[in-house]
């Protein structure tokens, strides 16, 4: 029997800067959902990637002094690296500069134009470059973008427009007839009332005032609007061919489209629930089943922003709290519909409370007691008492509750159900007091039952935590010497095999000293943000004309040999080649360089300096160097030819 398919996507990350923790939350959340869906037996295709075109990137590349392609190559590699670090199990990583995507977008644009959905006109209005978004005068307040709050600018240029109003009524009907198409419900109401029912204006879908975008292949003065380019990644990643009908598409495309869910940030809901469905309608394609607009992570109560200096990065957090520690915080502390909050204090508190004291302590105590009382061999359970049945019920309840929560995208609720079970297991230890049972040989069977129940509950925890903390789950199963990791193995309590020797024990999460950790973070922050040293302006020599400068003959010289000058602590004697001749030069750099490290280096030599005798050694020329207390020689490119004039 074929597996049920499940196609899940993130919004592709904009390749302008390194993503902060709030951006990274989305890949962690989507990965947890994808892993869960695989765990319950579905055929998952998980797509993510990078959005690499637009005016903002063109400006950033210009500021960096490199081409836009080189700029996005670097940022895309950084984003991919962070996604991989955080354990993303994506099946495909698309870049909007991929040749296959570019060709498909050009065909889509041409198809819209040929069908009459696109026409040429003149755009005049407000544009937010950071958001790559157009706004009307009624949407802009005090010259600020309604989405990000940054200044907008007036734009006036020739552009192509998409007839959005042509499909508006059809989209409204689809949303009303398909509950759950937009979630949470509050997001649906926002889109319906603020945009759709207020009336849709035609959308500007090309730009002609800059060049970094996908060219319109029949009008090279224009590039495709970045959002039309970016949104289509969800179908181009599956190999969509705009020249074919749905039934003529590849088997891969027909298998996975429509998407089961687009996971996106709430700030880009308008693009995904209005523009994207309308583009799909125009292409004659089914609409995605769900668009889930997740909340934001704020730093304390403020939105993360480089300008506010409150940006937290996931890779930095992982160095202190481990990848799974970061994943757990992200997934457990983000509410379903409201914004989450992150501070270093809250991360430490969550780590110590849930991971070190609860999960880690339970695994450690259970393993240690089994090792101590049964030589590390999993004991066989006997007749259950009411307290045992209560623990089993807690474990089975955690399975059903967490699954129901995951299927409705309530990620933090799923984790809460699992940790409720772990809390119950820790309480079970205190109630059954294994250390007291161990003192009475007549209660050995009871002791074995208690420890078996704890070990099985730990295994339940590992299986259920696999989508959220895959590395930790694997380590727990390793300590249990168990390969029972599938979802089917937690349908009943008691699958763990007895008589098996436990694996090696080790600490999963060591408790963190909050004061020490915060002090280290503060010190690192201070070092990173240390103000640059203000260098006083030096005294300058009198200005000279070009003739005076030209009188100095500078040439490339290669150092062939070097040795110290006897009885002169500061001097080195060098033999240099100018190509056409060799010379001896004495230089006062002995304190800063060892003779052997200079051999083979190419230097700038003042060739027409009158010869001088230093400590009895003749010197014909002078090396160019900088500094007084810490002298640094000016080395030339190794490819420079000996004797070349330096101008």
Least confident of 105-119, 384-398, 617-631: 617-631
The torsion of the CA quartet 40, 414, 394, 460, rounded to 10 degrees, works out to: 50
* Average pLDDT over the chain, rounded to an integer: 93
Q: What mean pLDDT comes out for the span 429-458?
A: 97
In this model, does residue 259 exceed pLDDT 80? Answer: yes
Give 387: exposed, middle or buried? Use CB within 10 Å, 0-12, 13-18, 19+. Answer: middle
The pLDDT of residue 128 is: 80
Cis peptide before 378 (omega within 30 of 0): no
Note the pTM of the prediction, 2 decimals: 0.80
262, two tokens = 């687009």
Find out whether 422 and 465 touch, Cβ atoms under 8 Å: no
Identify the structural domains of the chain with CATH numbers, from first to last.
5-294 (3.40.50.620), 319-490 (1.10.730.10), 546-646 (2.40.50.140)
Angle made by CA atoms 129, 132, 135, in degrees to the nearest 5 = 90
The pLDDT of residue 197 is: 78
The torsion of the CA quartet 323, 329, 334, 336, rounded to 10 degrees, works out to: 80
C-alpha pair distances (Å), 484 with each of 172, 425, 431, 456, 473 = 47, 20, 28, 11, 11
With bands split at pLDDT 50, 70 and 90, how would you rate the model's confidence at 594? very high
In this model, does residue 306 exceed pLDDT 60? Answer: no
The pLDDT of residue 264 is: 97
Q: What mean pLDDT comes out for the span 400-421?
A: 98
For 494, the 3-state DSSP assignment is: coil
Cis peptide before 452 (omega within 30 of 0): no
DSSP 283-328: HT-PPPS-EEEE--EEETTEEP-GGGT----HHHHHHHH-HHHHHH
> Pick the residue with more confidence: 151 or 585?
585
How far does the chain reach from its first CA to its final CA, in angstroms? 77
From the list 31, 32, 62, the residue with the least C-alpha distance to 47 is: 31
For 19, the 3-state DSSP assignment is: coil
In this model, does residue 503 exceed pLDDT 80? Answer: yes
> Pick the residue with more confidence: 149 or 65?
65
The pLDDT of residue 538 is: 81
According to DSSP, the residues that pair with 559 across neighbouring strands are 576
Least confident of 115-129, 321-335, 527-541: 527-541
In this model, does residue 131 exceed pLDDT 80? Answer: no
According to DSSP, the residues that pair with 612 across neighbouring strands are 619
Summarize pLDDT for 70-99 with one digit per residue, the tens: 999 999 999 999 999 999 999 999 999 999
In this model, does residue 236 exceed pLDDT 60? Answer: yes
The pLDDT of residue 122 is: 87
> Pick the residue with more confidence: 28 or 199?
28
The pLDDT of residue 137 is: 65
Separation between Cα atoms, residue 567 and residue 436, nearest integer Å = 82
Sign of the Cα torsion 459, 460, 464, 468 reads: negative
Which residues contact residue 179 at a Cβ distance below 8 angstroms, ignoring those fewer than 6 apart?
A: none
Would you tell me how many other CB atoms lie within 10 Å of the CB of residue 54?
29
Separation between Cα atoms, residue 208 and residue 122, nearest integer Å = 10
């Amino acid at each position: 029997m074929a597996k049920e398919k499940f196609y899940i996507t993130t919004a592709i990350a904009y390749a302008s800067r390194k993503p902060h923790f709030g951006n990274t939350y989305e890949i962690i959340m989507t990965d947890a959902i994808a892993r869960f869906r695989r765990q319950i037996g579905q055929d998952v295709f998980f797509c993510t990637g990078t959005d690499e075109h637009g005016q903002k990137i063109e400006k950033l590349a210009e500021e960096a002094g490199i081409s836009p392609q080189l700029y996005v190559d670097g940022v895309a590699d950084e984003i991919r690296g962070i996604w991989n670090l955080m354990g993303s199990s994506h099946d495909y990583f698309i870049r909007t500069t991929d040749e296959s995507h570019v060709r498909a977008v050009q065909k889509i644009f041409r198809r819209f134009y040929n069908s009459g959905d696109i026409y040429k006109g003149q755009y005049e209005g407000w544009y937010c470059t950071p958001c790559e978004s157009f706004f009307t005068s009624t949407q802009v307040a005090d010259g600020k973008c309604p989405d990000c709050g940054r200044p907008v600018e007036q734009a006036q240029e020739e552009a192509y427009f998409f007839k959005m109003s042509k499909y508006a009524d059809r989209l409204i009907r689809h949303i009303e007839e398909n509950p759950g198409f937009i979630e949470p419900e509050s997001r649906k109401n926002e889109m319906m009332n603020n945009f759709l029912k207020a009336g849709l204006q035609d959308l500007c879908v090309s730009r002609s005032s800059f060049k970094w975008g996908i060219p319109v292949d029949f009008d090279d003065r224009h590039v495709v609007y970045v959002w039309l380019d970016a949104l289509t990644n969800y179908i181009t990643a599956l190999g969509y061919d705009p020249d074919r009908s749905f039934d003529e598409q590849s088997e891969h495309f027909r298998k996975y489209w429509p998407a089961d869910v687009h996971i996106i940030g709430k700030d880009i809901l308008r693009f995904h629930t209005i523009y994207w469905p309308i583009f799909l309608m125009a292409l004659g394609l089914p609409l995605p089943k769900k668009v889930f607009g997740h909340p934001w992570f704020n730093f304390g109560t403020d939105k993360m922003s480089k300008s506010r200096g409150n940006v937290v990065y996931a890779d930095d957090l992982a160095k202190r709290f481990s990848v799974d520690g970061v994943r757990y915080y992200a997934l457990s502390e983000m509410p379903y519909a409201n914004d989450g909050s992150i501070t270093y204090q809250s991360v430490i508190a969550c780590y110590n409370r849930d991971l070190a004291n609860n999960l880690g302590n339970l695994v450690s105590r259970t393993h240690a007691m089994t090792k101590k009382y049964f030589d590390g061999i999993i004991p066989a359970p006997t007749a259950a008492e009411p307290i045992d049945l209560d623990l089993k019920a807690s474990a089975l309840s955690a399975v059903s509750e967490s699954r129901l929560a995951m299927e409705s995208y309530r990620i933090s609720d799923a984790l809460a159900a699992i940790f409720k079970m772990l809390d119950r297991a820790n309480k079970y230890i205190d109630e059954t007091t294994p250390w007291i049972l161990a003192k009475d040989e007549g209660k050995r069977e009871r002791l074995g039952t208690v420890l078996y129940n704890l070990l099985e509950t730990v295994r339940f925890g590992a299986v259920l935590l696999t989508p959220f903390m895959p590395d930790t789950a694997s380590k727990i199963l390793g300590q249990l010497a168990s390969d029972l990791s599938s979802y089917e193995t937690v349908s009943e309590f008691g699958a763990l095999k007895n008589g098996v020797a436990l694996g090696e024990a080790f600490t999963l999460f060591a408790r963190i000293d909050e004061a020490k950790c915060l002090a280290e973070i503060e010190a690192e922050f201070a070092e990173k943000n240390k103000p640059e040293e203000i260098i006083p302006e030096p005294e300058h020599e009198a200005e000279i004309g070009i003739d005076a400068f030209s009188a100095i003959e500078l040439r490339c010289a290669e150092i062939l040999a070097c040795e110290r000058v006897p009885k002169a602590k500061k001097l080195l004697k060098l033999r240099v080649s100018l190509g056409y001749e060799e010379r001896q030069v004495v230089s006062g750099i002995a304190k800063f360089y060892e003779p052997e490290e200079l051999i083979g280096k190419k230097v700038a030599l003042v060739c027409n300096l009158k010869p001088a005798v230093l400590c009895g050694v003749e010197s014909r020329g002078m090396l160019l160097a900088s500094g007084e207390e810490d002298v640094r020689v000016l080395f030339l490119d190794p490819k420079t030819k000996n004797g070349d004039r330096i101008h």
